[in-house]
Amino acid sequence: MDLNETNIKEEVSNFMSSFQKLLPKKKQIITLDAPKQNKMIRLNDMHAEAKSVFPLCFTGAKVVIMREVMNRVKLVQQYNYGRTKETYKAFTHLLYKEMEPKAIDEGLLVDSAGSATATYTEDLDGGYTMQLTSKIRDLISSETEIVFDRENQKSVASVSCSMKDVDPNTLRLVTQWVYKVIPEFCFGSEVSFRPMLYPPLPDVSVTARYDRQTFTLSGTISKAGFQACLFKQFTPDLRIATIVNEDAREARTTIGLGMHKKYSNGSELKVFVDSQRSGGFTFQKDVLFYEPHNEIRVLRLIGSTLIDKQRRVRFGFGFELDF
């Protein structure tokens, strides 16, 4: 077979075209930032803006691929090389399932570890919403949760019941409630307890939030400690947050400062430092691939650096695909 410049260009073009079809569309990429709250804010989103400024630092290498196999069935493949879990945080979570996605699509989610998560949602009479989530890790490990939720113009309340491995001793009841006093100020509370444990003492926390157009101030007090968050939006591309976290069990207070900067080329930088002499940053960039008919596909690259208390520097790298 004769090899010339025309044949080489044609083969390279065919290869790039096939590769671009495997890349996700830009609109399908999942952002790590907290979504804008258009409705009544929920209790586990009280500190969402401030905590989303801080980077999720990791070490090692990871690859995350999400693909929709059939209607309402999604496959998640995650490959880890080295230590890829979060090794340090400048804050803790005092509220139940804080910072976790609240709007979960119905269907079945299967990951590469063999776990399967099924979600079912139904609207009930009286403005209530029921969401049932069941996760099966293996033959003997499972987790089931049912949540009843009700929202109106001034308040939102939810009651959840969860159990692990079909063990009554793991039964947990959690109630969350938020009331909006004025458009800028709201407060709420959380009560959590395990009825099968003796004595069934509840864990109670109180949270308040003051929200303005350019800044947000929020705080939580519970048995586990105290937390105050300040979020400031300087420009559409620059956000800064400060979190004061007091751990009652370790009798330690930590002050963390985070910054989130967006660039015009699609890159994002998140940096944090704290009073424990730790710090780190993540840098992510979207590599765009243009196709005919004005379609854009993107590959998200993520780099991470973490500096711990012993001044050791660790690195991480990964990329995300969402078909």
Measure the CA angle with vertex 12, ends 1 and 318; round to 5°. 140
Task: Say if CB 242 and CB 58 are below 8 A apart.
Answer: no
Sequence-distant (6+) residues with CB within 8 A of 189 are 43, 176, 177, 204, 205, 206, 207
* Nearest-angstrom CA–CA distance, 160 and 102: 13
Task: Say if CB 167 and CB 144 are below 8 A apart.
Answer: no
* Nearest-angstrom CA–CA distance, 210 and 219: 9
Task: Say if CB 95 and CB 207 are below 8 A apart.
Answer: yes
| Stretch (H or E) spanning 280 | strand 279-291
The structure's pTM equals 0.78
Answer positive or negative: Cα dihedral of 107, 77, 137, 69: positive
What does each of the 323 residues of the chain score in pLDDT, given as a tens digit? 445 556 655 665 655 555 455 445 544 444 444 444 446 789 989 999 999 999 988 888 888 887 777 666 778 888 888 765 555 677 888 898 888 776 666 778 887 667 888 888 888 887 788 888 888 876 667 889 999 999 888 999 999 999 988 888 889 999 999 999 999 999 999 999 998 887 878 999 999 999 998 899 999 999 989 999 999 999 999 999 999 999 888 788 899 999 999 998 889 999 999 998 899 999 999 887 776 666 666 788 999 999 887 788 989 999 887 66
| Stretch (H or E) spanning 122 | strand 116-123
DSSP state of 6: H
Nearest to 227 by CA among 237, 218, 236, 235: 218
pLDDT attached to residue 1: 44
Task: Say if CB 17 and CB 189 are below 8 A apart.
Answer: no
* Nearest-angstrom CA–CA distance, 299 and 262: 17
155, with CB counted inside 10 A (0-12, 13-18, 19+), is middle
| Torsion on CA atoms 87, 93, 98, 99, rounded to nearest 10 | -40
DSSP one-letter string for 287-303: EEEEEGGGEEEEEEEEE
